[in-house]
A and B are shown apart, each in its own frame.
Chain A
Amino acid sequence: MFTVIGERINTTLKKVKSATENRDEAYIKNDVITQEKSGATYIDVNAGARIGHEEEDMRWLLSVVQSATTLPLCLDSPDPAILEMAYSLVERPPMINSISLEKDRFEPMMQFLKGKNCRIIALCMDDSGMPKSVDDIFCRAKALVEELEKIGFKRNDIFIDPLIQPMSVDAANGTMVFKAVEKIMTELQGVHTTGGLSNISYGLPQRKVINRIFLAMLMAKGFDSAILDPLDSAIMAVLKTADMLQGEDAFCMNYLKAVRAGSIVA
């Protein structure tokens, strides 16, 4: 099952930021309901853009979001204190976004994660910088899985983010991710892979075309989750079609349903 993490409740987005500032419940509720209707299976909540207000914003967003949906949440913050507060307020086990091997992040996050009932997104990032090869990505992924398993995480609850980098600066950035995802899904059996797709198209025009084709190509390598905008009907159409093409859709049922609903059009 492909896990769709709806990315829209993020205070870096202008409308969400101002709705949060103005405590506009209706705006947030409506957005969440629409994301769910469009196929989100997790709702990401990120309150980091209003510097100095993250705690109160997160608190408020969590109460509003949970009044609009029973979907599990993806708690998105680099601050373990915020995550601790947010974890105490969620009504069902959340996903945590994220941990990485960077020194300043790894220890505090491992402390936070001990004994928690949650899923975790693990970024293939360490202090030596952006990954430059398939091996870089895979070694970091392996290290993260080993560390998380040591504190009791099951592979089914680990979502590896291979760190998607733009094509515009290096023509090898796409194939690097394809090969890394394939290696991770083959050799670290049982884990999931995820990520925000839009980085791949940074610096190029017609980004949405690139993003959705990238998704299809990733899925062919086993990529089974993504942080994306479920209201982007074109990318959701690609997702359903790719799912069907991989034999994940019995009798092409979901595909046909989507076509009849008018959401998949040639």
Chain B
Amino acid sequence: MSHIDTIQKTLITGDEETLLDQVREALDQGVAPQDILSQALIAGMDIVGERMESGEMFIPEVLMSAQAMGRAVEILKPLLGDEESASSGRIIIGTVKGDLHDIGKNLVVMMLESSGFEVTDLGVDVSPDDFLKAIEEVNPHIVGLSALLTTTIPMMRETVSKIIESGKRDTLKIMVGGAPVNQEFADEIGADAYAADAGAASKLAKSMLG
């Protein structure tokens, strides 16, 4: 089995120590850091995301793999050229105003970062104005909105409206998620996409920008 395949398989098991050993071994053997990053690690997290979506893997396992990947990326980062370490895209994400839930959002942030995106996490209880400010500063490709309460659903609608009003709507894509959200609601408020979980979010983000 090639170094790339081995590393990918180990990432999926979440075994951090073995992963780091295998990454160092591969580098010693002359495997390009960029290949390790994209073909082994990012591709491996894609599989983790799919298994999370299908219910084959569970949240703690996804967290283990993401953590291991983070450590591996620390080893690779200094070896990557500027062009090679460029991200797949910029994403800003937050839980809308009035809502303090963040577990789902945090998982999405983790999966998106593991997929190679540059993510700005605005946290929770984020007002439409704060979203607009961040859009101005970061110039993201995607804006992610999260809400867990049925009572904050109207705020999601308002946030999207404010983005439309600001004239920035055509410069970015909007993705929404959270327990009370669904595709129908996403369509109704004018979002570009709805993701049911972190695995789906990362897959969608890639296809939206691909």
Report whether B59 and A204 are in contact in the complex, using a CB–CB cutoff of 8 Å. Answer: yes
Report whether A104 and B60 are in contact in the complex, using a CB–CB cutoff of 8 Å. Answer: no
Report whether B124 and A129 are in contact in the complex, using a CB–CB cutoff of 8 Å. Answer: yes
Q: Which of B59, B60, B102, B154 contacts A51 (CB 8 A)?
A: B154
Report whether A130 and B150 are in contact in the complex, using a CB–CB cutoff of 8 Å. Answer: no
Shortest CB-to-CB span from A90 to chain B, Å, is: 22
At the interface, yes or no: A33 with Cβ under 8 Å from chain B? no
Report whether B59 and A166 are in contact in the complex, using a CB–CB cutoff of 8 Å. Answer: yes
How many residues does chain B have at the interface if contact means C-beta atoms less than 8 Å apart? 20
Shortest CB-to-CB span from B101 to chain A, Å, is: 8
Report whether B58 and A48 are in contact in the complex, using a CB–CB cutoff of 8 Å. Answer: no
Report whether A169 and B59 are in contact in the complex, using a CB–CB cutoff of 8 Å. Answer: yes
Interface string of A63-90 (1 = CB under 8 A from B): 0000000000000001100000000000
Report whether B60 and A130 are in contact in the complex, using a CB–CB cutoff of 8 Å. Answer: no
A168 with B58: in contact, given A48-B151, A51-B150, A51-B154 (CB under 8 Å)?
A: yes
Report whether B60 and A203 are in contact in the complex, using a CB–CB cutoff of 8 Å. Answer: yes
How many residues does chain A have at the interface if contact means C-beta atoms less than 8 Å apart? 21
At the interface, yes or no: B70 with Cβ under 8 Å from chain A? no
Interface string of B139-154 (1 = CB under 8 A from A): 0000000000111011
Interface string of B98-142 (1 = CB under 8 A from A): 101111001100000000000000001100000000000000000
- Interface residues of A: mostly helix, strand, loop or mixed? loop
Shortest CB-to-CB span from A46 to chain B, Å, is: 10
For window 130-180 of A, CB contacts with B under 8 Å fall at 130, 165-169
Q: Which of B55, B60, B149 contacts A168 (CB 8 A)?
A: B60
Interface string of A188-214 (1 = CB under 8 A from B): 000000000000001111000000000
User: Which of chain A's residues have a CB closer than 8 A to the CB of B103?
Assistant: 165-166, 169, 202
User: Which of chain A's residues have a CB closer than 8 A to the CB of B107?
Assistant: 169
Report whether B63 and A129 are in contact in the complex, using a CB–CB cutoff of 8 Å. Answer: no
User: Which of chain A's residues have a CB closer than 8 A to the CB of B180?
Assistant: 12, 49
A51 with B58: in contact, given A129-B124, A130-B102 (CB under 8 Å)?
A: no
A78 with B151: in contact, given A129-B100, A130-B102, A169-B63 (CB under 8 Å)?
A: yes
For window 86-104 of A, CB contacts with B under 8 Å fall at 102, 104
Residue from A49, A78, A167 having most chain B Cβ neighbours under 10 A: A78
At the interface, yes or no: A125 with Cβ under 8 Å from chain B? yes
A12 with B98: in contact, given A166-B103, A204-B60, A205-B58 (CB under 8 Å)?
A: no
User: Which of chain A's residues have a CB closer than 8 A to the CB of B100?
Assistant: 102, 125, 127, 129-130
User: Which of chain A's residues have a CB closer than 8 A to the CB of B124?
Assistant: 129
Shortest CB-to-CB span from B172 to chain A, Å, is: 26
Shortest CB-to-CB span from B178 to chain A, Å, is: 13
A215 to B98, alpha carbons, bound, how many Å? Answer: 30
For window 242-260 of A, CB contacts with B under 8 Å fall at none
Nearest A residue to B97 via CB reads A104
Nearest A residue to B55 via CB reads A205
A129 to B95, alpha carbons, bound, how many Å? Answer: 12
Nearest B residue to A79 via CB reads B151
A51 to B60, alpha carbons, bound, how many Å? Answer: 34
A168 to B153, alpha carbons, bound, how many Å? Answer: 26
Report whether B60 and A12 are in contact in the complex, using a CB–CB cutoff of 8 Å. Answer: no
Shortest CB-to-CB span from A1 to chain B, Å, is: 32
Interface string of B67-111 (1 = CB under 8 A from A): 000000000000000000000000000000010111100110000
Q: Which of B59, B102, B125 contacts A203 (CB 8 A)?
A: B59
A166 to B102, alpha carbons, bound, how many Å? Answer: 12
A12 to B107, alpha carbons, bound, how many Å? Answer: 24
User: Which of chain B's residues have a CB closer than 8 A to the CB of A165?
Assistant: 103
Q: Which 6 residue pairs across A and B have the least CB separation, nearest first?
A: A203-B59, A168-B59, A168-B60, A129-B100, A48-B150, A78-B151
Return 19 A-B CB contacts under 8 Å, by A number.
Answer: A12-B150, A12-B180, A49-B150, A51-B154, A79-B151, A102-B100, A104-B98, A129-B124, A130-B101, A130-B102, A166-B59, A168-B60, A169-B59, A202-B103, A203-B58, A203-B59, A203-B60, A205-B55, A205-B58
* A interface residues, Cβ below 8 angstroms from B: 12, 48-49, 51, 78-79, 102, 104, 125, 127, 129-130, 165-169, 202-205
